[in-house]
Structure 1
Amino acid sequence: MKNVRALVMLLIAAVAGLGAVALASRWMLDRSSSPTAKVAVASVDINLGQRLNPEFIKMVDWPSGSLPPGAFVDVQKLDGRVLKTSVLRGEPILDGKLTPLGTRGGLSAVIAEGHRAITVRVNDVIGVAGFALPGNYVDIIVSTQQDKGNKGNTDDSISKIVLEKILVLAVAQEVGRDETKPKVVNAVTLEVTPEQAEKLDLARSVGTLSLVLRNQVDTVVAPTIGVTKATLLGEKAAPEVAPVKPIRTHYVARRPAAPRDCIGVLSGVLSSEECF
C-alpha cells in the first residue's frame, strides 16, 4: 500500500514538472516569435548639452508592442542633435530629451525658455561642501546690513532667504549629474528668471551669499522675515521712550489800574486821601 502511494506521488510530480516545462517552452517561443524593432539607445553615459554622434549611439532590438513614445528607429535622425537631459548607457534616446532642431551644443542649449544662466562664486562652505551638483535645487541666503534708519537699531546685520528652488545648471565647467560624487568648486551656474537674476546680482554685491540644498521634489515656498542678531539670541527690543514735550509757560501782563478820582481829607493835624 505504501509503495502504491509513493508511485502515485511520483507520477503527480512528473506530470507537474512536464506541465511547467511545456508552459515555459511555450512562453519562450511566444517571446522569441514576437516582432521586434531596432531602437536607438545610448552606448555610453551622455551629459546634457552634448551633441550626439554615431559613437554615442547603438541600435538594439526592442519589442514592437512596447516601444517608448518618441523613440528613434533611424540613427541618422539623431546625428547632430543636442541633449537637454543626461542619458545613461543603455537608455533609449527619446525625442523629449532633445533640444529643438538646429540648436547648438553647450550650456545655452539646456536653459529653459524665458530663463537665464548666472554664475556665482562659492567656496566649500557656501557650495554645501560640494553637494550642490547639476540638477539639484538650492535656496539662496544673503547676509547683509539693514538700512541705518530702520528703527534706530544698533546692530543692523540680517540673514534672509531671497530666492527659493533655484536649479543648478553646472558646477565650474561641468554639467554632469553624477550625484554620488560631491565636488568642491569655486563657481556654480544657476538657472533663474530675469527678475531673479536682478535680485541675485544685487544680493551678491551688498552681502555674502550661501547656498542651501533642498529636496528635488519639494515645491513648498517658505516665506521668512529674516533673522537678526536680536531675534537669533532671543533679545527683547528696548522699549521706545516717548519724547518729553516742553512745558510752555504763559505770562499774563498786568493791566494798569484805571484812573480814579481822589480828594484830600484834613482831620485836625492829620491828612489822608480818599479815592472813589
Structure 2
Amino acid sequence: MRTVFGLVLVLGMALAGFAVYMVKGYVADTESALIAERQRAAQIVETVEVLAVNSAKAFGDTIMPDDLIAVRYAKDFLPEGSFATKEDLFPEGMDISRSVLVSMDANEIVLSSKVTPQGQIASITQTLRPMMRAFTIYVDAGTGVSGFLRPGNRVDIYWTGLVGPTARQDETFLIGSSIELIAIDQSTDRNSTQTVIPRTVTVQVSPSDVARLAQAQSEGKLSLSLVGSDSALNVVPDGDQAITLPEPPEAPVVVAEAPVEVAPAPQTCYTTVRRGTEKVQMEIACTN
C-alpha cells in the first residue's frame, strides 16, 4: 500500500510539474504574441484619403470630377496643397474645370500647384512669378544648345555685336547668368522628353531687363549656354536687374591747343626829302 501511495505521489508531482511547465510556456508565448502585436501596431502608418487623377494628364489637359479617384496617403507625409474632396477641388461647381500646369501620372495626387484656378486655362501667365515678365529670344541649333533646353532650365545669355560706333569687329560678352527658361517655342511642359531644335525660347526677367534684352537682340546676336542644376549660383532675386549690357569704350580725349596770337609787326612810316638832285627817304613817326 505504501508502494502504491508513493507511486501515486510521484506521478502526481510529475503531472503537476508538467502542468506548471506547460502553463509557463503558454504564458511566455502569449506575452511574445502581445509584444509582437504591439510592435506591429506601432509600425502602422496613419493614412488619409485624398484626390488623385485616374489617368495620365499632360500640360493643358482639363480636369473634371470624373477624372478623379480617392487614394490613401500617409498623413505625416502628405504634400501641401492636396484636396480631400471634390468639393474642395471644385468649390465653384462641378461643371467648371481646372487645367493641368504640370504633367501628372495615373494615381498621382492632385496638388494646387499643379492645376490652374477653377475656370482658367493653362497658359504661360501661370508660370510667371510676381514682378517678372516674359521675353522671347530667337535661337537656332547653334545658339539654342542644339535642342537640349527644357522649361525650368537656367541659361547664361551671351551677346555678340559691335560695341560703340567706332568698333570694327564683333565682340562677345556675358550679359546674364542663370536666367530661367519658362517656355520652349509654345510649350511650358517641364516633363517633355522630345528633343527638337527650338526657334524661340522664353525667359522670365524683370521689366527693365526686357528693355535691355530687346536692345541687345536688335543690335546683335544672342546665344544661350545651359547651366547645370548644381551650378546655378548667384541667382538674381525676382524684380532685380539680371541683364547688363556692355558699355562702349570711352572716346579718347582730344586736347585742342589754344591759338597763338602773333603780334603785328610794328608799323614804319617814311617821307621823301629832296636834297639837291637826290631823293632820300627818312623815317618819321606814323600819325594814323
TM-score by length of 1: 0.62
Contact 1:171 1:189 in 2 (8 A): yes
| Count of paired positions | 228
The residue that corresponds to 2:50 in the other structure is: 39
* Residue 77 (1) aligns with residue 82 (2): no
Map 1:178-193; keep pairs closer than 5 Å: 178=191, 182-193=195-206
User: Which residue is equivalent to 1:67?
Assistant: 78
Q: Structure 2 counterpart of 1:139, which letter?
A: D
How many angstroms apart in 1 are the aligned matches of 2:180 and 2:227?
Answer: 10
Structure 2 distance, partners of 1:163, 1:144, is 15
Aligned counterpart, 2:134: 117
User: Take 1:223 and 1:117, find their aligned partners in 2: how far apart are those partners?
Assistant: 14
CA 1:162–1:253 in structure 2 vs 1: closer, same or farther (change >3 Å)?
same
Seq. identity, %: 25
How far has the Cα of 1:96 moved from its partner?
A: 4.1
Q: Give TM-score scaled by structure 2 length.
A: 0.60
Aligned residue for 1:198, secondary structure, equals helix
Q: C-alpha displacement at 1:182, in angstroms?
A: 3.7
- State whether residues 144 and 159 of structure 1, in contact with CA within 8 Å, keep that contact through their aligned partners in structure 2: yes
Q: Distance in 2 between matches of 1:23 and 1:31?
A: 13
Residues in 2 aligned to 1:23 and 1:226: alpha-carbon distance in whole angstroms: 74
Q: Distance in 1 between matches of 2:257 and 2:228?
A: 57
Tell me if the contact between 2:47 and 2:75 (Cα under 8 Å) persists in the aligned partners. Answer: yes
SS in 1 for 2:130: coil
Q: Is the 8 A contact 1:163 1:196 kept in 2?
A: no
Give yes or no for contact 1:158–1:226 (8 Å, CA) kept in 2.
Answer: no
CA distance 1:223–1:201, shift in 2 (3 Å): closer
Give the Cα separation in 2 of the matches to 1:191 and 1:225: 17
TM-aligned CA deviation for residue 183 of structure 1: 3.0
1:49 and 1:110 in contact (8 A); partners too? no
1:219 has 2:234 as partner? yes
C-alpha spacing 1:172/1:20, structure 2 compared with 1 (3 Å): farther
State yes or no: 1:202 paired with 2:215. yes
Q: Which runs of 5 or more residues in structure 2 are unaligned?
A: 1-29, 91-96, 237-241, 272-288
- Cα RMSD after superposing both structures: 4.1
The amino acid of 2:265's aligned partner reads A
In structure 2, relative to structure 1, the CA distance for the partners of 1:30 and 1:117 (3 Å cut) is same
Moved more, 187-196 or 38-47: 38-47
Q: 1:126-137, aligned counterparts within 5 Å?
A: 126-137=143-154
* 1:94 matched residue in structure 2: 111
Structure 1: give runs of 5+ residues left out of the alignment: 1-17, 229-239, 260-276
Q: CA deviation at 1:134?
A: 0.8
What are the within-5 Å matches in structure 2 for residues 9-48 of structure 1?
26-31=38-43, 35-48=46-59
C-alpha deviations, 1:115-171, integer Å up to 9, x for none?
3333332111111111221111222222122221xxx55x24222233333322221
Distance 2:108 2:85 in 1: 16
Letter in 1 for 2:135: I
